[in-house]
Each structure stands twice: as structure tokens, then as C-alpha cells.
């Protein structure tokens, strides 16, 4: 028994050395399968959640993400947000004026006017559960706003 | 404490034995670093060669002198100091400053570090969601989640909490300041041993709070090492408070207290990632053992252990606490050579030299691998600074 | 009656999740066995019930507290957070041999040794004031019942349904004999308390 334990001990010790050797080279081969197999995603608090609507305006595209209330471990929050991105296909217009249907019921829930040069934004809520503008952000490839919402679905 | 006797001879290796152990390591590490040597850029080849030669030379000295801690410490500190030399200019070149704005976070631009593991585990397991504003897969930026996760798993499987003395690219800061003074101003007896439970308390608190708030609480509020990497932009009063906190924590836990106590205070008495790694020490095949036949109970090891992992109970039981980072300071300090690396399952008296070599292999490979991502790029930046006048 | 109970059952895990950061460190640092923890849990739940009864009364009285509460939620939750953090800190600091470096709060020692139930009951009450999402659901339903009895019954049955999930926490007492865990619990409790104190002040300031 003692000999078996010793043998196992030394074997695992050697294996540890092998694991250390292959760890860094294995990153390239393992990284993508790891993410795909586990189905891990980044928190919607950072990504804004999946894109629900894409509206092509010719020179630019509007991407309306889903409403995010579920960036919590269990259940949903009582307040959340919706993210809207404008991605230029050529260049963004100087001014964007658009009505957004947040809950996908076919009716606009708020109107947003954005000066794309200085990010000055005016939000006009059409529904009581649209609480206000969280911020306007200039990302590398798009302009983005987040609008705070109250969770009325529950 | 008994008066020290003349120290026993350190377990030096004969040259031929050292070369026998060194040769395979040379082959392995050269093989691993072939892509780094063959980029085609002569400057990169020079810095990679310099890094490899330095690390290899110190590893050889480690083998031939039998002194692990002294040379490990130099390499460990080099890795830590190199990180900001490489990372901060990269942040400035890519984003304009070290500060993370909302834009950067919403673009997934924050770099993932292993210290976030305790916080992301519960949401990842229960909801398959990573609560960090970074990337899942590498797209050329530093620190994608998948990369750090794989490194963490590999290091943890092979070393357990040995990560904290052989892998962590922050711990070297703590170690550096703890080695500056010759004698401690805050003596070992003056530090209440119950503080060793603080990292575990922090671990429990951040795991619970991060799971409930879905935010990386330690990163936002407590991590002192944001000062050498990246931090939230001071755009709000809240962010300014958070910045003030981490500056104070870095100065206190990484500079002042280690300087005064000659201990790794941040690593031993604060870091929740280290606390988490301690549990993996129970599973790891490598440990540290004290031979009761050789031990004279002089307690020198207790007074020098940088992470407070040895106490009177350790001398009685023959092994350190689970918080042991396998740094080898006690091994090198012991005047009776009573302490050694040990492979679980093997007899206590089984050749400690073999256990040492079998441990040094994965430990050194990990350290060298990390140096390729920190020391070599940092050297390159320093050379660029000398030749072009800019770190960027 | 069944409606409230089923609502509590369906959403109790969320209630538990909101209370866990406070409860787990608190129970660990108390260092009590399973049976004693169960008694502490019952006291905590009793305090929570008190909070819910008040909400039941208010929901009946105002009929549509949901809208009114929205404007003052920051004040209520902020106050609850601050109170909760104070109680948690007192729980840690009242012990004769507290965390190293801290001195025992003598006044708190006397008060809470005379009325030991005060701590878990108070914490349960303040936790109940935190207006978690399941509570808002119950709110909305209670506001529609129109009778005091209906409103109270709905909250009471909701409370019963959701409380089932709290009972397993008593099993933290299995490790009551491990003194190391008590220390870990104390440190964790202090950190959680400071976090909630800070959050409460921010919420309160935002509400004002």
C-alpha cells in the first residue's frame, strides 16, 4: 500500500510538471472550445445583452438590444436598462432623431435625439416605465446610449 | 528561542548532478520559447534571449547552491516589477490613460486578472455569465478570461498555492518591499496571528456580495494593485473614493507594512485569491514537511515565514498551515535542514532532493512562462525608451 | 391564501439570496450549533415577518403603494441598509474577545446580553424592509385585495412560502466547533457591514 501511494505520488508529481509545460502552449487550442462548451457569456451589464432589432438607415444602422433586468444572480431587478447602438456604415449623421420600441410591442416607448459630434442627448419618454437617460458613450465603432427602465413585466 | 548553532551545510548539488537536472529544463524551455525567438525582429530576439538566459542562470544557481528562495525571489520580483513597465504604456497607447472609462468597459476593454476568480465563479456556475468588463477570448488585448482561466487551472493543478510565490505577477511587489530592511521593526510576536483569517473573511464576503450584486466587488473596492495596472476613471465622487482606497491599501499593505515587518502582508493577511488557493493546497501533490528528528525547535522558520504559515502547531504536526505558498524561505533558513519539499504519499524520509526537483520543474516553468509575458516585453520597452526616447 | 404561499415559494430563493450576505457571516461568527442556529433563524424570520406585516398594512391603507414607494424607496432601503450594517457590526464587536485590534463595545455588550433576541429580530426586520423584487410582487397583489385581512393574509402566506428556504442555513451550525470559522465569519461580517453602510448612505443621499 505504501509503495502504491509512493508510486502514485511520484506519478502525479511528474504529471504536474507536464501540466505546467503544456499550460501556456495549450491556451491557443483550448480557449475557444472552453468558451463554446461552457456557453459562458459576458454579463449583459457590460455588453447590453443580445441585439433584438436592427434598423438599416442606409448610412448607419441602429441596433436595439433587449431590455436588461436579469443582470442578477436570481430573478430580475426592479430597474434595468436598454442599450441602443448606432453603427456607421459610412459616417454617422450630425444628428440622430429616432423613436425606439423597447419592449417590441410595435409602439415607440421613447424618442432620442443625439448630437453625434458632442454626444448631447435629449430623451423623451413615452411610457412611465422609461425612467431616464443613463449616459451616451462613444465606442470605437459606434455611438451608444443606455436608458434606464422600470421592470413592469412581473 | 534556542541559540542558533552553526548552520548545517546547505544541500548543494554536485555540478554534474545540477547539469543533469538543468539540461532537460533547457531543452523544454527553449522548445516552449521557439515562437518567441523566431518573430523575425532582432530586438525582440535579443530581449527574449536576455530574459531566457537570466532566468536559466538563476535556475541553475538555484540547483547548484541548493538555495531556492533567494533566486526564486529575484525572479518573482522581476516579474512583478516588469508588469507595469509593460502594461501601463500599453494602456496609455491603446486607451490614452490607465483609467478605465465606461466606454472602455462597455467595449470589453478591461484586462482580466486571476484575482477575479473567486468573484466570477458563482455567477459563472449558476448563470454561465462572467461578471467582468473584459473579453472572453483574446483579440490581441491583454488578459482575456479564457486565457487567464486556463493559466489559473494549470498553475493550480500543478502548484496549489505555490501560485502565490511562483506565478502571481503582483506578489513580487510585496516580496520586494519585505526584503529591503535587514531587520524587522514590527516583530513577529507583535502581529496577532488571528489576522491570518482576514483573507478568508474577505473571500467569503466578496464571493457573497459579488454573487448578489453581480459586480466584481474586490476589483471595485479593495484591490491594491490597480495602482500598477488599471483603475476606474475618476469621473464620479464614488470612483474618486474607490481610487483613494486602493492607493491607501497599496501604500499600507504592499509598501509600509512589508517594509516594517519583513513579511508579505498583502499576500499573507489580505489577499482573498490566496485564501482560495489555500484550499487547493489540500489537493496539490506537493507540500512542505518538517522532519521531527532533525528539528531543534529553534523556531527560526516561524519568525521568517513571509505569509505566517508556520506556528507552534506546525512544528508539532510537521507541516505548515494550508496557507503555505511553498516559497522555500523556511527550507533555506532552517539551520538543521529539517524542512523540505515533500510529495504526498511518499515517506517523510524519502529523498527530499527528488521532491525538490520534481517541484521546481513545474514551478520554474510557470515562472518562466509568465516572464515571457512580462519581463521580455518590459525589457523591450526599456530598450525602446533608450533608443527612441519613448516607452510607447 | 394559496396565491401568497405559492408566490413566496416561487420567489423565496430571491429573498434568501438578498439576505445571504448578511446571514451567512452572522451565523458563522455566532458559532452556535444547528439547533441554536434554528432558533436564531426563527428570530430573524420573526423580525422579517414584522417588516412584512407593516408592508401589508401600508399596502392595504394606500391601495397603490407601489407608485408612492418608488419615489421614497431610496430612503427606505438606505435606512434599512444602514441599520442592518450597524446591527451586524454590533453583533461582531459585542463579544468579549472580538476581532483583533478592535475593542468590545461595552454599551452594546450590556444591551444585547439583556435582550439577546434583539439582534436577529432587528436584522430580520431591517432585511424585510429592503423591498426585494418578490416583495414588490406581493405588494402589487396586496394592493388589489382591498381588505386589511386579505392584505395581511397575503403577506403572511408569502412570508411562510419564502421562509422555507432560510431553514437550511441553520446547518452552518455543523461547523460551530471550528473556532477558525467563527473568526472568518467575524471578518466577513465586518466587511459586509461596511459595504452595506456605504451603500445605505449612498441610497439615502440619493433618496433625499
Over range C125-131, report the average pLDDT.
69
Kindly state whether residue B2 falls inside one of the protein's structural domains. no
Nearest residue to B355 via CA among A17, A3, A19, A21: A17
Chain centroid to Cα C26, Å, comes to 11
Strand order in the sheet with A95-100: A95-100, A110-115, A121-125
Nearest residue to B60 via CA among B22, B27, B23, B32: B22
Over range B91-109, report the average pLDDT.
91
| Sign of the Cα pseudo-torsion (B32, B38, B44, B50, in order) | positive
Looking at the predicted structure, is the pLDDT value of residue B227 above 50? yes
Kindly state whether residue B4 falls inside one of the protein's structural domains. no
Over range A60-82, report the average pLDDT.
90
Kindly state whether residue B3 falls inside one of the protein's structural domains. no
Of B123, B204, B237, which to mutate for an interface test with C (greatest number of C Cβ within 10 Å)?
A: B204
Residues of B in contact with C18 (CB under 8 A): 212
Fill in the DSSP letter of residue B194: G
Q: What pLDDT, on a 0 to 100 scale, did the predictor assign at position B11? A: 63
Flag the least confident range among A19-23, B125-129, B142-146, B215-219. B142-146
Residue span of the structural domain in which C99 resides: 2-207
Nearest to B155 among A23, A43, A44 (CB): A23
Looking at the predicted structure, is the pLDDT value of residue C208 above 60? no
CB contact under 8 A, C101 and B192: yes
Over range C166-172, report the average pLDDT.
87
Predicted TM-score of the model (pTM): 0.90
Kindly state whether residue B287 falls inside one of the protein's structural domains. yes
Our count of domains for chain C comes to: 1
Average pLDDT across chain B, whole number? 92
Q: What pLDDT, on a 0 to 100 scale, did the predictor assign at position B261? A: 96
Chain centroid to Cα A16, Å, comes to 38
Looking at the predicted structure, is the pLDDT value of residue B8 above 50? no
Give the model confidence (pLDDT) of B234-250 as tens digits.
999 999 999 999 999 99
Q: What pLDDT, on a 0 to 100 scale, did the predictor assign at position C67? A: 45
Q: If you average pLDDT over each of B85-94, B263-272, C184-193, which comes out highest?
A: B263-272
Give the model confidence (pLDDT) of A89-104 as tens digits.
888 899 999 999 999 8
Residue A144 neighbours by CB under 8 Å, 6+ apart: A48, A83, A84, A85, A86, A136, A137, A138, B106
Looking at the predicted structure, is the pLDDT value of residue C164 above 60? yes
Flag the least confident range among A110-119, B244-253, B273-282, C193-202. C193-202
Q: What pLDDT, on a 0 to 100 scale, did the predictor assign at position B5? A: 42
Does ipTM surpass 0.85 in this model?
A: yes
Give the model confidence (pLDDT) of B24-61 as tens digits.
999 999 999 988 888 888 889 999 999 999 999 999 99
Give the model confidence (pLDDT) of C62-117 as tens digits.
665 554 555 566 777 788 888 888 888 888 887 654 445 544 444 555 555 555 66
Burial (CB count <10 Å: 0-12, 13-18, 19+), residue B391: middle
Would an 8 Å CB–CB cutoff place B190 in contact with chain C?
no
Say what percent of chain B tops pLDDT 70: 97
Over range C160-186, report the average pLDDT.
86
Flag the least confident range among B269-283, B362-376, C121-135. C121-135
CB contact under 8 A, B106 and A139: yes
Nearest to B192 among C20, C28, C100 (CB): C100
Query: Hey, which chains touch C, using 3+ CB pairs under 8 Å?
Result: A, B
Give the model confidence (pLDDT) of A36-48 as tens digits.
999 999 999 999 9
Looking at per-residue pLDDT, the higher value among B251 and B141 belongs to B251
Kindly state whether residue B94 falls inside one of the protein's structural domains. yes
C49 CA: distance to closest CA in chain A (Å): 22
CB contact under 8 A, A150 and C70: yes
Would an 8 Å CB–CB cutoff place C130 in contact with chain B?
no
Residue span of the structural domain in which B207 resides: 15-388
Say what percent of chain A tops pLDDT 70: 99
Over range A118-135, report the average pLDDT.
94
Over range A143-150, report the average pLDDT.
96
Looking at the predicted structure, is the pLDDT value of residue C31 above 80? yes
Closest residue, chain C, to B269 (C-alpha): C187
Nearest to B205 among C18, C25, C99 (CB): C25
Do residues A32 and B146 lie in contact, with contact meaning Cβ atoms separated by under 8 Å? yes
CA distance A66 to A55: 14
Of B193, B199, B200, B205, which to mutate for an interface test with C (greatest number of C Cβ within 10 Å)?
A: B205
Q: What pLDDT, on a 0 to 100 scale, did the predictor assign at position B6? A: 42
Flag the least confident range among B112-121, B223-232, C137-146. C137-146
Reduce the DSSP state of residue B236 to 3 states and report it. coil
Would an 8 Å CB–CB cutoff place B126 in contact with chain C?
no
Residues of A in contact with C77 (CB under 8 A): none
CA distance B318 to B290: 5
Do residues C73 and C65 lie in contact, with contact meaning Cβ atoms separated by under 8 Å? no
Our count of domains for chain B comes to: 1
Fill in the DSSP letter of residue A140: S
Closest residue, chain C, to B208 (C-alpha): C21
Would an 8 Å CB–CB cutoff place B198 in contact with chain C?
yes
Average pLDDT across chain C, whole number? 76
Say what percent of chain B tops pLDDT 90: 82
Residues of C in contact with B202 (CB under 8 A): 187-188, 191
Amino acid at each position: 500500500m505504501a509503495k502504491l501511494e509512493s508510486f502514485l505520488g511520484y506519478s502525479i508529481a511528474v504529471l504536474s510538471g507536464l501540466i505546467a509545460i503544456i499550460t501556456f502552449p495549450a491556451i491557443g487550442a483550448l480557449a475557444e472550445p472552453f468558451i463554446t462548451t461552457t456557453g459562458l457569456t459576458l454579463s449583459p451589464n457590460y455588453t447590453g445583452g443580445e441585439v433584438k432589432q436592427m434598423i438599416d438607415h442606409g448610412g448607419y444602422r441602429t441596433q436595439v438590444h433587449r431590455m436588461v433586468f436579469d443582470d442578477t444572480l436570481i430573478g430580475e431587478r426592479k430597474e434595468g436598462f436598454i442599450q441602443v447602438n448606432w453603427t456607421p456604415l459610412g459616417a454617422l449623421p450630425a444628428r440622430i432623431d429616432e423613436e425606439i420600441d423597447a419592449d417590441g410591442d410595435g409602439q415607440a416607448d421613447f424618442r432620442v435625439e443625439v448630437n453625434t459630434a458632442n454626444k448631447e442627448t435629449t430623451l423623451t419618454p413615452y411610457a412611465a416605465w422609461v425612467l431616464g437617460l443613463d449616459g451616451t458613450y462613444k465606442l470605437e465603432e459606434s455611438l451608444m446610449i443606455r436608458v434606464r427602465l422600470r421592470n413592469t413585466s412581473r | 528561542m534556542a541559540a542558533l548553532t552553526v548552520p548545517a551545510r546547505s544541500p548543494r548539488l554536485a555540478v554534474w548532478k545540477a547539469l543533469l537536472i538543468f539540461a532537460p529544463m533547457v531543452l523544454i524551455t527553449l522548445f516552449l520559447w521557439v515562437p518567441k525567438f523566431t518573430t523575425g525582429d532582432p530586438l525582440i530576439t535579443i530581449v527574449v534571449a536576455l530574459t531566457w538566459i537570466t532566468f536559466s542562470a538563476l535556475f541553475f544557481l538555484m540547483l547548484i547552491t541548493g538555495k531556492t528562495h533567494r533566486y526564486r525571489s529575484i525572479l518573482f520580483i522581476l516579474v512583478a516589477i516588469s508588469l507595469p513597465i509593460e502594461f501601463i504604456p500599453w494602456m496609455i497607447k491603446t486607451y490614452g490613460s490607465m483609467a478605465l472609462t465606461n466606454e472602455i468597459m462597455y467595449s470589453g476593454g478591461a484586462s482580466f486578472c486571476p484575482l477575479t476568480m473567486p468573484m466570477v465563479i458563482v455567477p459563472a456556475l449558476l448563470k454561465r455569465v462572467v461578471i467582468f468588463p473584459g473579453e472572453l477570448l483574446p483579440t490581441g488585448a491583454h488578459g482575456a478570461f479564457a486565457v487567464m482561466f486556463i493559466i489559473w487551472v494549470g498553475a493550480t493543478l500543478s502548484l496549489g498555492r505555490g501560485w502565490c510565490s511562483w506565478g502571481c505577477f503582483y506578489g513580487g511587489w510585496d516580496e520586494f518591499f519585505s526584503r529591503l530592511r535587514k531587520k524587522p521593526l514590527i516583530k513577529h510576536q507583535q502581529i496577532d496571528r488571528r489576522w491570518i483569517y482576514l483573507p478568508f473573511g474577505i473571500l467569503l464576503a466578496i464571493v457573497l456580495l459579488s454573487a448578489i450584486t453581480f459586480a466584481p466587488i474586490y476589483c471595485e473596492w479593495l484591490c491594491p494593485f490597480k495602482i500598477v495596472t488599471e483603475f476606474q476613471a475618476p469621473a464620479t465622487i464614488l470612483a474618486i473614493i474607490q481610487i483613494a482606497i486602493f492607493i491607501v491599501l497599496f501604500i499600507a499593505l504592499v509598501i509600509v507594512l512589508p517594509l516594517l515587518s519583513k513579511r508579505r502582508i498583502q499576500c499573507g493577511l489580505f489577499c482573498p485569491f490566496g485564501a482560495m488557493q489555500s484550499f487547493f493546497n489540500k489537493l496539490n501533490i506537493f507540500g512542505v514537511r518538517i522532519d521531527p528528528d532533525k528539528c531543534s525547535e529553534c523556531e527560526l522558520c516561524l519568525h521568517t515565514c513571509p505569509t505566517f504559515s508556520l506556528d507552534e502547531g506546525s512544528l508539532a504536526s510537521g507541516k505548515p498551515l494550508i496557507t503555505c505558498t511553498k516559497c522555500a524561505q523556511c527550507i533555506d533558513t532552517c539551520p538543521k535542514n529539517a524542512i523540505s519539499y515533500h510529495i504526498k504519499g511518499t515517506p517523510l524520509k524519502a529523498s527530499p532532493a527528488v521532491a525538490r526537483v520534481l517541484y521546481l520543474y513545474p514551478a520554474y516553468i510557470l515562472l518562466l512562462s509568465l516572464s515571457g509575458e512580462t519581463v521580455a516585453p518590459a525589457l523591450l520597452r526599456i530598450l525602446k525608451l533608450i533608443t527612441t526616447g519613448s516607452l510607447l | 391564501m394559496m396565491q401568497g404561499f405559492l408566490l413566496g415559494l416561487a420567489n423565496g430563493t430571491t429573498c434568501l439570496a438578498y439576505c445571504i450576505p448578511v446571514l451567512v457571516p452572522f451565523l458563522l461568527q455566532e458559532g452556535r450549533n444547528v439547533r441554536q442556529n434554528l432558533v436564531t433563524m426563527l428570530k430573524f424570520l420573526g423580525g422579517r415577518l414584522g417588516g412584512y406585516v407593516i408592508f401589508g398594512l401600508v399596502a392595504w391603507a394606500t391601495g397603490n403603494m407601489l407608485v408612492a414607494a418608488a419615489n421614497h424607496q431610496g430612503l427606505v432601503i438606505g435606512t434599512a441598509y444602514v441599520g442592518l450594517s450597524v446591527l451586524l457590526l454590533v453583533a461582531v464587536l459585542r463579544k468579549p474577545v472580538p476581532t483583533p485590534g478592535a475593542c468590545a463595545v461595552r454599551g452594546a455588550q450590556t444591551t444585547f446580553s439583556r435582550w439577546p433576541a434583539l439582534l436577529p429580530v432587528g436584522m430580520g426586520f431591517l432585511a424585510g424592509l429592503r423591498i426585494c423584487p418578490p416583495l414588490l410582487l406581493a405588494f402589487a397583489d396586496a394592493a388589489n385585495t382591498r381588505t386589511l385581512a386579505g392584505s395581511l393574509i397575503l403577506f403572511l402566506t408569502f412570508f411562510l412560502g419564502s421562509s422555507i428556504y432560510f431553514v437550511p442555513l441553520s446547518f452552518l451550525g455543523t461547523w460551530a466547533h471550528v473556532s477558525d470559522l467563527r473568526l472568518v465569519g467575524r471578518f466577513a461580517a465586518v466587511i459586509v457591514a461596511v459595504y452595506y453602510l456605504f451603500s445605505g448612505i449612498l441610497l439615502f443621499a440619493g433618496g433625499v
